[in-house]
Amino acid sequence: MAELKSTQPRNRRERAILVGVLLPDGQYNPDDPLDEIRGLAETAGLVVLAGLLQNRREVDPATYIGSGKVAELKELVEAHEADLVLFDNDLGPAQTRNLEQQLKVKVIDRTEVILDIFATRARTYEARLQVELAQLEYAMPRLKRMWTHLSRYKGGVGVRGPGEKQLEEDRRLVAKRIQDLKAKLAVVQARKEREVAARTEVPTVSLVGYTNAGKSTLMNALTGAGVYTADQLFATLDTRTRQWHFKGGGHVLLSDTVGFIRNLPHSLVASFKATLEEARQADVLLHVVDASSHEAERQIEAVEAVLHELALSDVPTLLVLNKCDRVRDQDSLAILRARHPEVVEISAATGTGLAELEAAVRAKLNETALDVEIHTHAGDGKVLAYLAQHAHIHSQDYSNTDDLHVRLLCRLPRKCLGFLSEQGVNLHITTLVDQTPMREDQKEMISKRRDLSNSNPLGLSLTWTATA
Ligand SMILES: Nc1nc2c(ncn2[C@@H]2O[C@H](COP(=O)(O)OP(=O)(O)OP(=O)(O)O)[C@@H](O)[C@H]2O)c(=O)[nH]1
Ligand SMILES: [Mg+2]
C-alpha cells in the first residue's frame, strides 16, 4: 500500500523526518536541539521517524542545508518512506520549492506547523479569524498550497490551509479575503477593547508565558475556572477571564492567554493582538515559567522578546517560577533566582506558594498605581466623572478659574492613562504627591474648594473621592 501515497486516506497520520540547522545565533537545547520541533510535530499529529542536524555558519540560499546534506536527507526519506520533511527553521518560498523538487516529498517549516496547530485548536470565531489571516499572509508570497495535516474544517472561517486552487487561480481573491478578515478582526478588536476598558474599576492580572508552562493550571488553581490544561503545546488559544478572590479579601480579574514560543510566526503575533488585549490592558502580568525545564532561561528570553514585540514590556510583571514540585536540579533553580531577583516560586499543581503569589500580586498592584497631575477643562464632565470613578483624588484646584481649568492631583491605575490620553487630557506623572492619608485640615481645604467649584459659571457639580 506504500505506493498509494498520494491517494492515502486523509486521516492516516503523516510520517515526518525532522531537520534542524544550527546557526551561530540560534537558540537550541544543547542536549537535544530537535526537542521542541519534535513536540510541535507530535502536537500536530505527525509520526516522527528520524531527525537530521547540520551546523552551518550561514544558510544555503537555494536549499537551506548544503547539497551533501540534501542527498543524505533524501536517503533518509526513502529509507523511512516518509511523507514529509519538517524543518525547525523558517524556509523561504524558493528553498521549499527546490527542496521539494529534489526530495520528492512535501517540505514544511516551523511556521507552517505552528499555524497548523493553531488552526486545529482555534475554537472561537475570533481565534479562527486570526488563524486564517495568519495562514493567508504566510501563503500569499508562496503561492503554493499550505500543508495541512488533516482537513477538519469544511468551509467558513478557520479553514485549515487555504486551497491550492484558490491561491493559484486568483491571487486577488486571497488579497480580498485578507482585507475582509482584517476588517472583521478590527470590529472584534474594537469590541474587545471596549469590553476590557469597561472593566477598569477592577484590577486585572494576565497570565503570560511559554507554551506548556502551566498558565491554565494556575488559572484553575486560583479561580476554579476549569479551563483545559494538557501536557501539549498550545493547549490554550482563547483568552478566558475569571474572578480571582484573594484569600485576604478583595478580588481581581485573572486572564489566561495563548502561550508563546521562540520564533513565534510574525503573522500570528500580529493577528493575535485581539486575543492579547487582556494582557495589553492588564495592571500586572504574571510571567509563568516552567522552572523544571532545562530551557527555562531561554524560554524566559523568548517570552520577553514576544512581549517586547507586542509592546507589553512596560506592563509591570512578576516572574512566577512554576512546577517547583518537579524541579530536580536545585542548582538551576538557584541560577534562575540569582538572575531574576524578584520571583515567586510556586507549584500550580500542588498549590504551594499560592499565598505568597497573592501577596506579591497585591504588592505589585499597589506599586503600579500612578500619581498624576491632570489639567482639564472644568466642563469636561466625561473626564471628571471617569476620574471620580477610577481614581483616588488627592486634591482639585480651581484657583485659576479664569480659563475654567481644573488641576487635579490623583492616584490612579496605570491603565487609566490610555483613556485619559485618548480624551486629550493634559497630564503628567509625578512622584511628588504625598501618599499619606489626607489630614483633616487638607480635607477641609478641599471642601472649601468644592464650594467654589459648585459656584462655577457652568454649574458643575463634582463627585469628590478625596476623603481618605
Ligand atoms: N508537576 C507539575 N506539573 C504542572 C504544574 N503546572 C502545570 N503542570 C502540568 O504542565 C502541563 C501544561 O499545563 P498547562 O496549564 O496546560 O500549561 P499552559 O501554560 O496553559 O500551556 P498552553 O496553553 O499550551 O500554552 C500539564 O500537563 C499540567 O498538568 C506544576 O506546578 N507541577
Ligand atoms: Mg493553557
Predicted confidence (pLDDT) per residue in 422-466, tens digit: 888 887 776 533 344 444 543 443 333 333 333 322 222 222 222
Tell me the average pLDDT across 198-215: 85
Burial of 81 (0-12, 13-18, 19+ CB in 10 A): exposed
**Would 459 be classed as within a structural domain?**
no
Read off the CATH number of the domain in which 96 is found: 3.40.50.11060
Q: Is the pLDDT of residue 199 over 90?
A: no
Q: Give the residue numbers spanning the domain of 68.
A: 2-108
CA of 77 to the centre of ligand 2 (A): 35
**Same domain (yes/no): 11, 82:** yes
Q: What is the pLDDT of residue 264?
A: 77
CA of 191 to the centre of ligand 1 (A): 30
**Same domain (yes/no): 207, 84:** no
How far apart CA 246 and CA 427 sit, in angstroms, is 33
**Would 410 be classed as within a structural domain?**
yes
How far apart CA 284 and CA 269 sit, in angstroms, is 20
H or E, element range at 254: strand 251-256
Read off the CATH number of the domain in which 414 is found: 3.30.70.240
Reported as half-sphere exposure (CB side, CA atoms, 13 A), residue 182 has a value of 10
How far apart CA 58 and CA 188 sit, in angstroms, is 42
Contact (CB, 8 A) for 217 and 323: no
Give the position, in ligand 1's atom list, of the atom nearest the Cα of 322: 31
Residue 378, phi then psi, degrees to nearest 5: -65, -20
**Same domain (yes/no): 228, 287:** yes
**Same domain (yes/no): 187, 231:** no
Q: From the CA of 229, which ligand is nearest?
A: 1
Residue ending a domain, among 194, 217, 237, is 194
Residue ending a domain, among 327, 352, 377, is 352
How far apart CA 360 and CA 95 sit, in angstroms, is 49
How far apart CA 95 and CA 100 sit, in angstroms, is 8
**Same domain (yes/no): 331, 384:** no
Contact (CB, 8 A) for 54 and 65: yes
**Same domain (yes/no): 214, 285:** yes
pLDDT band with cut points at 50, 70 and 90 for residue 365 = confident
Strands 284-290 and 84-87: unpaired
pLDDT: is 231 or 415 the higher one? 231
Quote the pTM value.
0.73
**Would 114 be classed as within a structural domain?**
no
Q: What is the pLDDT of residues 57-95, one digit of tens each?
A: 999 999 999 999 999 999 999 999 999 999 999 898 889
Closest of 346, 341, 344, 342 to residue 326, by C-alpha: 346
Does any ligand 1 atom lie closer than 6 A to the CB of residue 227? no
**Same domain (yes/no): 98, 61:** yes
Residue ending a domain, among 61, 81, 108, is 108
Q: From the CA of 221, which ligand is nearest?
A: 1
Q: Is the pLDDT of residue 205 over 80?
A: yes
**Would 358 be classed as within a structural domain?**
no
Give the position, in ligand 1's atom list, of the atom nearest the Cα of 346: 31
Overall number of domains in the chain: 4
Instruction: Supply 21's cell numbers.
Output: 540547522
**Same domain (yes/no): 127, 100:** no
Closest of 384, 396, 374, 391 to residue 445, by C-alpha: 396
Instruction: Supply 28's cell numbers.
Output: 537550541
Which residues are 408's β-sheet partners? 374, 396
Q: Is the pLDDT of residue 98 over 90?
A: yes
CA of 212 to the centre of ligand 1 (A): 5
How far apart CA 308 and CA 284 sit, in angstroms, is 15
**Same domain (yes/no): 229, 327:** yes
pLDDT: is 440 or 224 the higher one? 224
How far apart CA 356 and CA 346 sit, in angstroms, is 8
Q: What is the pLDDT of residue 452?
A: 33
Q: What is the pLDDT of residue 161?
A: 52
**Same domain (yes/no): 231, 188:** no
**Same domain (yes/no): 391, 271:** no
Contact (CB, 8 A) for 17 and 80: yes
Helix then strand then coil, % of the chain, to nearest 5: 40, 20, 40
Q: What is the pLDDT of residues 20-67, one digit of tens each?
A: 999 887 777 777 889 899 999 999 999 999 999 999 999 999 999 999
**Same domain (yes/no): 185, 225:** no
Give the position, in ligand 1's atom list, of the atom nearest the Cα of 209: 19
CA of 91 to the centre of ligand 2 (A): 28
**Would 432 be classed as within a structural domain?**
yes
Does any ligand 1 atom lie closer than 6 A to the CB of residue 190? no
Q: Is the pLDDT of residue 160 over 70?
A: no
H or E, element range at 167: helix 164-169
Give the position, in ligand 1's atom list, of the atom nearest the Cα of 233: 24
Output the residue whose Cα is nearest ligand 1's atom 13. Answer: 214
Which SS3 state, helix, strand or coil, does residue 319 take?
strand
pLDDT band with cut points at 50, 70 and 90 for residue 170 = low
Tell me the average pLDDT across 155-160: 43
